[in-house]
A and B are shown apart, each in its own frame.
Chain A
Amino acid sequence: MAELLDMISADIRYIDGLKACMNCGVCTAICPAAEFYNYDPRDVCNTLMSKDEVAIAELLKTDKIWHCGQCLSCKTRCPRGNVPGLLISLLREVSIRMGYFTESEEGRRQYAIKKTLGEHIVDSGYCVHVMHVKPHLHPEQGPVWEWYFKNSEEVADRQGGNYNKEGSGALRKISEESLKDLRKIFEVTGGKDFFEQIDRQSKKKASELKKNITDNVDDNEYFYHVYREKNETQE
C-alpha cells in the first residue's frame, strides 16, 4: 500500500496542487461539479492531507474523483494556492494505474472515453475530428450537425478547409511522420501502457458483469453499458 502514497507524493501535481488547505471550502462553493453532483473538492483535499492510505485507496474506488469537470475554477479561488482540479487529475491517473477505476460506475466510463477519444489521438492525430462525432453517438448535436457530417468535405472545404487531404489547413490528414512520432511518444512515456491498463482492467470488469467486450465500438456491449447507462441511485 505504501506504493500508493509514494506514487501520489512523488507527482508534481501533488506538490504543486496541495500546499496548505485550511478547509475554508471556497473551492466547493465555486465548483460547478459540486453544484451538480454529490462532490466536494474540499473533502478530497482533506482525505489526501490525512495521508491515510486506506481512506485514499477507498476514494480512488469511488465515483467522486470522476465528477470534476476540470474547469479549474478552484485554482482561481483558493486563497492558499491549492488546486483541487490538479489533484483530481493525479488521482484519476493513479486510480487507473492501480486498477481501482473499474470499481466505480463513473470510473468505468474511462474505457468509453479511451475508445472515443484516446485512440483517436494515435490513430488520426486529432482528439476530435468531424469524422469522430458520429450522430448516433451524439444526438445532442442536432440536425445541422447531421447535415455537416453527411457533407463534411464539401462543407469544410467551402470554409477553406483541407478535409482529410495531404498538406496544411483545417481538418487535413495528419502526416504519417507525425502519427509515427505520436505513437512513439505514447510508447516511450507510458501512454501506450496506460491505454493497455484501461483495456485490461475493463475486460476483467466486463467479464464480472457478464457483458460482451470487443475491440470495435459498434458491437461492444460493455462500451455501450459504460457510455450511456446510469444507475439512478448513484449518490
Chain B
Amino acid sequence: MKKQYWTEYESKVADDHYYYERSCIRQSFFTGSEEVFINIVRDLLGKDIADDMNLHTCSGIGYYSGVVPLDTTMTVVARLFALMTEAGYKNFVPSCITSFGLVNEVVDMWHHFPEKLEQIRGYLKEANGKEFDVPENIAHPCDIIYKYRKELKEKMKYSLTNVHTGKPLKVVEHIGCHYAKIFPRQVKGGAEFPQVLVGMIQEWGGEVVDYPERRHCCGFGFSQYMVLANRGYSAANSKKKLESMQPFKPDFILANCPGCTMFMDRWQYTIAETEGITYGENGMGIPVLTYEELAAILLGYNPWDVGLQTHQVQVEPLLDKMGIKYDPKDKYVGKSGAFLGEPEKPTHLKVKAYE
C-alpha cells in the first residue's frame, strides 16, 4: 500500500499557559469570536491564557501587501515575543492565520539565518530597549479547540444534527492558506488533508463535504483586496469555490481564518448584487462561521452575544436546523440594551427565506 506521508504530520500544541495574540481582522469582523475563545479556554477548560493589554498588530498584512519591509515586520514580531517573555509565557497563540503563518515564517528564517535573529535582537534593543525569547510553542487557537474537542463536546447542548431530519449537517471546511501551505509538516494532516476543522465537525456530529475546489484560496490576496480596482481577483477566487461547493448543498461553511470567513460571507453579497446569483437555499446565502462561533452556539451561547448578527449571510435557517432557540427582537440590540435599528436589506441576497 502506498505510504500516506500526511498522516505523520502533526501539530504540536502546548497543554496550558497560552499567550494569546489578538488578530486585527478577527477583532474587527468577528469580535465575539476572540472573547468566546478566551472564555472557553479559561472558564470551560480551566487553562491559563494571557490577554495582554500591551499587544498590537503583528504588521503581517502590511508585510504581505508589500508596504512594510521584512526587517520592520520581524522587529514588530520580536516586540510581541518580548511582551510574551516579560509576561512569563513561552507558548504563543496567534489568533490570526496571517499572524500564524508570519510568526512561523519569521522563526523559521531565524533558525536558518541566525545572523538575522541577532540583527533583529539589536534592532529591538535599540528601538525599545527590550529583549525576547523565541516561543517554545506556536499553535493556532483552532489547534487548541481541536485538541480539546472531545472535552468540549461533553459540555455542548446541541450537535451538528438537523433536528427536522435527524441527519448530520453537511459542512464545508475551509482552511486559510497560511495555516497549512507554508509549513505543511507542522499541522496535522498537512496542506492536503488538514484535520483541524474536520476533527471538530466529525466530533460534534456533522458530515464533512468534499468538493473539487476545497483547498483553493479564498482570494484575499492581501494587496489585491486592499484596492478597489483589484477586488475582482478576490471575489473571483471565492466565486470559484462557491460554485464548486454549491452542488453538494452544504448547510454552512466553517473556516479557521478570519479573513477567509469574512470574504466568503461578503462575496456572496457582492456576487448576488452584481450577478443575481445566490448559493444557499431559497435565495439566501451559505452561512460562514468561525470555529469559535460554532463552538459557542453548540455550547448554548446566545448567538447575538457571539456576533452572528454581524454576518451578511443570515444564520437563522442554520440555527433553526440545529434547533437552537434565539430571540429575533434581541438581534439588533446593543450593549446598552438599546435597539440599534436594522441593516438595510440587499436587493438580491435574501435575508429571510421566501420573502
Chain A residues engaging chain B, CB cutoff 8 angstroms: 11-13, 15-16, 32-33, 36-37, 66, 69-73, 75-76, 89-90, 92-93, 96, 106, 109-110, 112-114, 116-118, 121, 125-130, 133, 137, 140-148, 151, 153-161, 166-172, 174-175, 177-179, 181-182, 184-191, 194-195, 198, 226-230
Contact = CB atoms under 8 A, between A and B. Distances in A.
Contacts of A125: 56-57
A113 B226 contact: yes
B164 interface: no
Given A143-B343, A154-B340, A188-B127, 17 more contacts: A15-B113, A66-B223, A72-B177, A72-B178, A73-B181, A73-B217, A121-B57, A142-B266, A145-B312, A151-B340, A154-B334, A160-B31, A168-B52, A185-B75, A191-B68, A228-B227, A228-B228
A168 B307 CA distance: 19
A89 B72 contact: no
Nearest to A186: B72
B59 interface: yes
A129 B344 CA distance: 23
B3 interface: no
Interface of B: 22, 24-25, 27-28, 31-32, 34-36, 39, 51-57, 59-72, 74-76, 79, 101, 109, 112-113, 116, 123-124, 126-128, 130, 177-178, 180-182, 184, 191, 216-217, 219-224, 226-231, 233, 235-237, 266-267, 269-270, 304-307, 309-312, 332-336, 338, 340-346
B184 A76 contact: yes
B28 A141 contact: no
Contact of B56 (A69, A106, A110, A182): A182
B227 A227 contact: yes
User: Which of B112, B126, B227 counts the most A-chain CB atoms under 10 A from its CB?
Assistant: B227
Contact of B343 (A70, A130, A144, A187): A144
B222 A89 contact: no
A118 B237 contact: no
A158 B305 contact: yes
A161 B345 contact: no
Contacts of B184: 76
A140 B182 contact: no
A4 B344 CA distance: 53
A195 B66 CA distance: 11
B35 A69 contact: no
Contacts of B61: 117, 127-128
Contacts of B235: 140
Given A113-B226, A117-B65, A178-B54, A71 B233 contact: no
Of all A-B residue pairs in the complex, the 8 with the closest CB atoms, nearest first, are A154-B334, A160-B35, A69-B221, A159-B32, A191-B72, A147-B343, A168-B53, A157-B335
B32 A109 contact: no
Nearest to A95: B66
A171 B31 contact: yes
A184 B78 CA distance: 13
B28 A129 contact: yes
Contacts of B65: 70, 113, 117-118
Nearest to B60: A127
B230 A181 contact: no
10 contacts: A71-B220, A76-B182, A93-B69, A121-B62, A126-B27, A146-B344, A168-B52, A174-B55, A177-B54, A184-B128
B217 A69 contact: yes
A143 B68 contact: no
Contact of B181 (A72, A160, A228): A72
User: Which of B62, B67, B335 counts the most A-chain CB atoms under 10 A from its CB?
Assistant: B67
A161 B65 CA distance: 27
A113 B223 contact: yes
A112 B227 contact: yes
Given A32-B216, A75-B182, A140 B266 contact: yes
A89 B66 CA distance: 7
Contacts of B112: 12, 16
User: Which of B64, B270, B306 counts the most A-chain CB atoms under 10 A from its CB?
Assistant: B64
B226 A116 contact: yes
B24 A128 contact: yes
B191 A76 contact: yes
Nearest to A101: B66
Given A140-B270, A191-B72, A228-B227, A168 B51 contact: yes
B231 A36 contact: no
A89 B338 contact: no
A76 B181 contact: yes
Contacts of B233: 33, 36-37, 69
